[in-house]
Amino acid sequence: MAEPRTSRRGLLALGGALLAGGAAAGVTTSGWLDKPGAAEASGDVVPFYGTHQAGIGTPTQDRLAFAAYDLTVSGSVRQNRAALSTLLQTWTAAAAAMTQGRTVPGGNTDPAAPPADTGEAYGLSPANLTITFGFGTSLFDGRFGLAGRRPAALADLPDLPPADLDPDRCGGDLAIQACADDPVVAFHVIRNLARIGRDTAVMRWSQLGFGKAASNGSDQQTPRNLMGFKDGTRNIPGDNIQLMDQHVWVGSETDQTWMRGGSYLVTRRIQMHIEAWDRDYLADQQNVIGRYKYSGAPLSGGNEFDQPDFTAIPARAHIRLAAHENNDGVRILRRGYSFTDGIVPSSGELDAGLFFIAYQKDPRQQFVALQRKLARGDALSEYIQHVGSGLFACPPGVTGPGHSWAQELLA
């Protein structure tokens, strides 16, 4: 917070000076008017500092920009650790600024230097931006001397059908989830963090989500995924502290105290065979999911939020197999987004589906256990394939200025 509080909304150039023509024009008169507090007053700001990272239990925004980065360091363990620590300090400060609607710190008005901020979000509101950070499993190899600090819960994911994973859409040393109600604001984050980290980190893969596909309880209406069904009816409400502590936040059970208050993130890029799905009869679609398409009510009857009677729902229906009542109480917090990225060259199919995002306190007991169950019987498996995968340890929140992501791990 050493940077001046320059609001994106308050930016104004002080034009109007007379200029000589020719190539030197434009050097002299760009500047900002600082209007502190303009962004904060707009009412669409999510606090960055806190016990937990924002973007997990906070309300789901409309848009996603997700990126995984690889670290490119090649020095000694000490040098590498220092480079990572510096990167995360810089990233944290930039993230704190961007979530509050401010520009990337570092200077944006020197005509003889590249601006620190790339500028496409100037003038836009903060749009409820949250930036959530995690470490991939590969971080805990030998490069940073952190092998002994790897949490047991961060165990590599086993093979989990139906999957045909593309290595270029999997893994990564670091992950950034940027969610906002404006896609420019979300993309601006992953672009600018790549720019800030360019001597230390490169983007490995990225994913835009263009419509939220899972509610976490804060919506008036449950959103629909690209299969046309409501998704998230029985999700964990992010404001239910008891359920969040029980299923999502890492607690005293962890073998690595630096993860207390954090959570484990599983991402799966789930391609839907939507042409095949669209040819399926309405009754079959409903039997695959276990709900009515239009109302979202369980096939056992009632309304959307009524308790399903699983004995009156087909045995292979997705909601029956995935229900916590049928999985020893296991639940995950989902936060997925629909995506579409054009056409799959090999098949001519639309490359569209669900970018699945789930948070939990132990993936071994939660996502992996649930997915193993689904792999054995889920009727939905005929229509989907997992083509990308990520597993990340998201540390607890940043408590205030001067603190940075995972500072306890890297100290």
Q: Is the peptide bond before 162 cis (omega within 30 degrees of 0)?
A: yes
Q: Which x/- pattern over 43-82 shows residues binding a copy of itself (rule: CB under 8 A)?
A: --------------------x-------------------
Among 42, 86, 89, 109, binds a copy of itself (CB under 8 A): 109
360 touches 280 (CB < 8 A): no
- Pick out residues in 198-227 that bind a copy of itself (CB under 8 A): 198, 202-203, 205-208, 210-211, 221, 224-227
Quick one: which segment of 94-102, 115-123, 145-153, 236-244 binds a copy of itself (CB under 8 A)?
Answer: 115-123
Residue written as tokens 């600024």?
97
How is residue 308 annotated by DSSP? P
**CB-nearer residue toward a copy of itself: 50 or 183:** 183
* DSSP codes, 262-283: -EEEEEEEEEE-HHHHHTS-HH
The reply on whether position 106 binds a copy of itself by CB under 8 A is no
Quick one: which segment of 258-266, 279-287, 370-378, 397-405 binds a copy of itself (CB under 8 A)?
Answer: 279-287
Q: Is the peptide bond before 151 cis (omega within 30 degrees of 0)?
A: no
- Identity of the residue numbered 263: S
The reply on whether position 348 binds a copy of itself by CB under 8 A is yes
Residues 6+ apart with CB under 8 A from 66: 175, 176, 177, 178, 190, 206, 207, 208, 209, 267, 355, 357
Q: CA-CA distance, 310 to 302, in Å (whole number)?
A: 13
The reply on whether position 29 binds a copy of itself by CB under 8 A is yes
Q: Which x/- pattern over 287-306 shows residues binding a copy of itself (rule: CB under 8 A)?
A: x----xxxxxx-xxxxx---
Q: Which x/- pattern over 303-342 shows residues binding a copy of itself (rule: CB under 8 A)?
A: x-------xxxxx----------------------x-xxx
The reply on whether position 36 binds a copy of itself by CB under 8 A is no
Minimum CB–partner distance for residue 351 and a copy of itself (Å): 9
**CB-nearer residue toward a copy of itself: 65 or 374:** 65
Q: Which CA distances in Å does 123 have to 187, 188, 265, 330?
A: 15, 13, 32, 44
